[in-house]
Structure 1
Amino acid sequence: MVPTLKSKVIFDNILNIREVLGYFYILNNEEPALNVVWDETLKEIHIHAMGKIQLEILKAIVKNRFNMDVEFGPCEILYNETIESETIGYGHFEPLGHYAEVHLRITPSDRNSGISFDSTAHVDDLILGHQNLVKTHIFEKDHKGILGGYPLTDVNITLLTGRAHNKHTSGGDFREATFRALRQGLENTKNILLEPYYKFSIEIDIDYVGRVMSDISKMSGEFEPPIINENLAIINGRGPVATFMDYSLEIVSFSKGTGSISYIFDGYDICHNTEYVLEKRNYDKDSDIEYTSNSIFCSKGQAYVVKGKEAKNHMHCLER
């Protein structure tokens, strides 16, 4: 049961928004996969869901338990991002009175494997406590990719080396250096947009087999040869959630209620319409100030910024 969609909670304006949020936090405690999020900028409540049927059930639960009518906005696909080839990322954080440097190797890993971490850094260069800090910061939150700002996944991150200062390194310095190194590494390789996929099984009258196979192809899906049993056909296949999530209603409509489709989440894979998704998303990686590849250095008591693409040439750990 993995959420593949995001939706906005819609409710009457006369209701207290904090009270509504409190109700959804109660539900989130019972079902953490809802991932209830309060968007302070938009003043909106967002939730994650497995599909539209779950949203209908959730609507009924909210009515029965809290006597509150809610609707849900259009479903948005939960995309992820990964990389195509290995890259090295460099991050340095040295405003006056602070100091940390981190070098990371980022390599693509198996699809749907998430993020893993290891370290080959020598304790003479970076003590174990600081190495563990880097690991903590890697796993403390989702990291945005550079294509659409979607969560990064399916990578192995290796700490290669780093540097601290006995006097100036303080809390948060390695967090800043780690995030900058990760971002800088992503900018040095090709990135890939991933989308969720369903495995599906369709039961349909043989008269509609041609129609269904044509639909599957149009929706960027793939399928096995139909299994025919008298007048019934079973078609098993796989396709993007984005194109298949409403297909159950279409099947019921054109088959006059005799056909059906069942879905099972089948992980993430390469997006079938990357250009369209990214154009609609319109994410500018250089304008996302929370995620920057720029490093900060200090010289003669003055801090200065080095752009990510030039950061490698300024790193202290590369000094000969």
Structure 2
Amino acid sequence: MGDRTHTHTGAAGRAAAAERPASVRNVVLVGHSGSGKTTLVEALALTAGAINRAGRVEDGGTVSDHDEIERRRHRSVQLSLVPVEWEGYKINLLDTPGYADFVGELRAGLRAADAALFVVSAAQEAGAVAGTTRAVWEECAAVGMPRAVVVTHLDTARTSFDEMTRICGRIFGGEDPDAVLPLHLPVQGPEGPDGHAPLTGLTGLLTQRILDYSTGERRELPPAGDQREPLSRARDRLIEGIIAESEDETLMDHYLGGGDIDAGTLVEDLERAVARGSFHPVLTAAPAAEGARQGIGTVELLELITRGFPSPLERALPAVTTPDGSPRPAPACDPGGPLVAEVVRTASDPYVGRVSLVRVFSGTLRPDDPVHVCGHGLTGPGHEARPSHDADVRVGALFAPFGRQQRPLDRCIAGDLACVSKLGGAETGDTLSDPGGPLLMEPWAMPDPLLPLAVRAHGKADEEKLSQGLARLVAEDPTMRLEQNQDTHQVVLWCMGEAHAEVALERLRSRYGVQVDAVPHRVPLRETFASRTVGRGRHVKQSGGHGQYAVCEIEVEPLPPGTGLEFVDRVVGGSVPRQFVPSVEKGVRTQAARGVAAGHPLVDVRVTLLDGKSHAVDSSDAAFQTAGALALREAAADTRIQLLEPVADVRILIPDDYVGAVMSDLAGRRGRVVGTEQAAGERTLVRAEVPEIEIGRYAVDLRSLTHGTGRFDRAYARHEAMPPQLAERVRASQENTTSRS
């Protein structure tokens, strides 16, 4: 990765199909919202010759033109692929959203990539770097994914490359900050009145040469006298870091003994260390200045990607099984092998229809090929299952996206990425394989959505389209769950956060033509009896023909939490004929399911049938069902009915600095902390029990409370009695909601 003069491929930036896996590089860009990922992608595309100096692709549009919602919001909300070519390599740049709500798009990018560029803005606070990016860095480290860091926005007032490098070493390097070191030092022009110092070039630490861009052309110059000392210090530290990762154990002794090490040897050791994920170079980049043909640092980045990052041949492929779960050997990254590919994201195009972004792991995908589509059934507490599906379909057109443009491809080989149209009902996460030997790849981890969004159709015309629109949303986005709650009768979309929910509503309106209203989310409450009581149900009607006659007397007593509803028959003497006892029980259970006070299911009671009366002609199954329901309602009228609320087991992982604030917040939510324990990375795991009615917006509130660094999960624990004053407020609120609707 030396500093050399480069030429780009010009029109080859159209990124035709890759010829061989060794010439492919799949790189995901990760970083906080506003860190400059999309701007960096455009700068790399300009240097590679895919766009002109105005930032336009050759046939119109920009590389960031992907989605109407993104253009309106001025924020990336989905994963986008920008393929470019550089010196014989095809580079698939995967631009991910930086906002935490769209972590599903980020995870899809990680699945499709073989290396990651972490983009860090020098203008952002250190807390922002740690809060939104550290967890992703740890995920990459866990699977050994190679990583590099790119510092942007150095021309912003009061920024420091040295300070950002130290921060990155501390946050990303952990116990080994010397594994995160710069390859170049920025050269900045004089500071202007506004405090901005423009980036004018770079100093290569290994070559000790300045790459000057101040004239708009890239020139090599020797370092000035005042630059030699800081250059020497940074160079020594870089060389020591590279040698520490070298497989040649004699290099360190040679270097410490005062011997020189050939620059070529250092570069080779650096490239190997980067490729295996043990050394993480820090670079800087800036967009092209007015009139310049390329951005500052973009050539060095492209060289790092092509020479330091691994090809798909070096990646361990995900495990595969047959659709019935039988394990199979992992496929090789071979264009001539059996087809194994994966849908990493799904989107809807107003002109093409459903479009699938596909990573081919083995074999070659061609237009009009028959393929087998196999998907995982997705289930979760309180969520509807998405059934597993198997189907043979025929591939539609293959193309490489570039902004709004779609450039046709004649094939997509192992290791490469492409967009596919008309892939049947394929969903994100589905596996494509040969119809003669169907396979299924293990799914990648997705966080559970924890923010509920209850929706209903705006009008009659929207009711028919609502279910289809929601199903398509969930098929496209694995971080979204659809729930048809049987207790509250609400349709609930579980989302990652407020922005995620807003985009979901906007997509329903703009893509699928469904107008929906967001309504307050209700948690599934329960009712129970506070004390023992009795009730009598009398259903007597005389009219033409057979009448209706049934009388029953019951006793109701509370039971321990979690017991449910028990029915006991203690009738003696045949006052209620044997054939009608099940009828009374059915009436009682039907009424219990509807509730006896506030319309919530009745639980944790024992109902005992004590006595009753019947008529030889007018008694019937229906009559005793009605009498049983009346008896339960009469018993409820003579005692206090307790409202039970669901309580969740909550596990919260937070940095140690926020433990006090989180504990205080939990207390305000009627939470009970049941334990804490230390976790890796100076973090604490807090375990608590919290009423679910208090944590409906906890996904948003915890993010705000911990500056994006906190994570939590929840699981249903039990129902328990709600405080009387709160129960009254809930009843009043529900009555008002019912009257308005």
TM-score (norm 1): 0.71
Asked if 1:223 is matched to 2:673, the reply is: yes
**Counterpart for residue 175 of structure 1:** 625
Shift of 1:26: 9.2
**Counterpart for residue 257 of structure 1:** 708
**Counterpart for residue 639 of structure 2:** 189
Shift of 1:24: 9.2
**Counterpart for residue 268 of structure 1:** 719
SS across alignment from 2:541: coil
Determine which of 525, 543, 551 is the counterpart of 1:79.
Answer: 525
**Could you tell me how far apart the structure 2 residues matched to 1:259 and 1:165 are?**
67
Q: CA separation of 1:220/1:89 partners in 2, compared to 1, >3 Å: closer, same or farther?
A: same
**Counterpart for residue 732 of structure 2:** 279
**Counterpart for residue 125 of structure 1:** 575
Q: CA separation of 1:50/1:182 partners in 2, compared to 1, >3 Å: closer, same or farther?
A: farther
**Could you tell me how far apart the structure 2 residues matched to 1:213 and 1:179 are?**
46
- Per mean C-alpha deviation after superposition, the further-off stretch among 193-202 and 150-159 is 150-159
Residue segments in structure 2 that go unaligned for 5+ positions in a row: 1-380, 384-449, 473-480, 737-741
Q: CA separation of 1:241/1:231 partners in 2, compared to 1, >3 Å: closer, same or farther?
A: same
Shift of 1:17: 4.5
**Could you tell me how far apart the structure 1 residues matched to 2:553 and 2:453 are?**
38
Determine which of 91, 94, 112 is the counterpart of 2:540.
Answer: 94
Q: CA separation of 1:154/1:32 partners in 2, compared to 1, >3 Å: closer, same or farther?
A: farther
Residue type at the aligned position of 2:734: R
User: In 1, are the aligned partners of 2:585 and 2:625 still within 8 Å (CA)?
Assistant: no
Q: CA separation of 1:211/1:111 partners in 2, compared to 1, >3 Å: closer, same or farther?
A: same
Residue type at the aligned position of 1:257: G
Determine which of 235, 242, 258 is the counterpart of 2:686.
Answer: 235
- Per mean C-alpha deviation after superposition, the further-off stretch among 263-272 and 222-231 is 222-231
**Counterpart for residue 114 of structure 1:** 564
**Counterpart for residue 244 of structure 1:** 695
Residue type at the aligned position of 1:239: V
**Could you tell me how far apart the structure 2 residues matched to 1:103 and 1:49 are?**
40
**Could you tell me how far apart the structure 2 residues matched to 1:81 and 1:24 are?**
35
Superimposed CA distance per residue, residues 226-278 of structure 1 (whole angstroms, 9 cap, x where no aligned partner): 22346211110101111112112122123222111111111211114223213
**Could you tell me how far apart the structure 1 residues matched to 2:607 and 2:734 are?**
27
- Superposition CA RMSD, Å: 3.7
**Could you tell me how far apart the structure 1 residues matched to 2:712 and 2:660 are?**
16
User: In 2, are the aligned partners of 1:7 and 1:47 still within 8 Å (CA)?
Assistant: no
User: In 1, are the aligned partners of 2:525 and 2:646 still within 8 Å (CA)?
Assistant: yes
User: In 1, are the aligned partners of 2:532 and 2:555 still within 8 Å (CA)?
Assistant: yes
Shift of 1:23: 4.8
Residue type at the aligned position of 1:226: T
**Counterpart for residue 41 of structure 1:** none
**Could you tell me how far apart the structure 2 residues matched to 1:6 and 1:179 are?**
34
Residue pairs, 1:138-153, within 5 angstroms: 138-140=588-590, 142-146=593-597, 148-153=598-603
Residue type at the aligned position of 1:47: Q
Q: CA separation of 1:225/1:8 partners in 2, compared to 1, >3 Å: closer, same or farther?
A: closer
- Per mean C-alpha deviation after superposition, the further-off stretch among 267-276 and 96-105 is 267-276
**Could you tell me how far apart the structure 2 residues matched to 1:47 and 1:208 are?**
35
**Whose Rg is larger?**
2
User: In 1, are the aligned partners of 2:451 and 2:496 still within 8 Å (CA)?
Assistant: no
Shift of 1:127: 1.6
User: In 1, are the aligned partners of 2:654 and 2:709 still within 8 Å (CA)?
Assistant: yes
**Counterpart for residue 464 of structure 2:** 19
**Could you tell me how far apart the structure 2 residues matched to 1:244 and 1:132 are?**
41
Q: CA separation of 1:226/1:129 partners in 2, compared to 1, >3 Å: closer, same or farther?
A: same
**Counterpart for residue 80 of structure 2:** none
Residue type at the aligned position of 1:277: V
User: In 1, are the aligned partners of 2:557 and 2:605 still within 8 Å (CA)?
Assistant: yes
Q: CA separation of 1:78/1:36 partners in 2, compared to 1, >3 Å: closer, same or farther?
A: closer
Q: CA separation of 1:50/1:174 partners in 2, compared to 1, >3 Å: closer, same or farther?
A: farther
**Counterpart for residue 47 of structure 1:** 490
Q: CA separation of 1:211/1:51 partners in 2, compared to 1, >3 Å: closer, same or farther?
A: same
Shift of 1:167: 1.8
**Could you tell me how far apart the structure 1 residues matched to 2:454 and 2:713 are?**
25
Q: CA separation of 1:154/1:67 partners in 2, compared to 1, >3 Å: closer, same or farther?
A: same
Residue segments in structure 1 that go unaligned for 5+ positions in a row: 38-44, 284-320
SS across alignment from 1:113: coil
User: In 2, are the aligned partners of 1:104 and 1:181 still within 8 Å (CA)?
Assistant: yes
Percentage of identical aligned residues: 23
Determine which of 613, 616, 622 is the counterpart of 1:166.
Answer: 616
**Could you tell me how far apart the structure 1 residues matched to 2:658 and 2:573 are?**
66
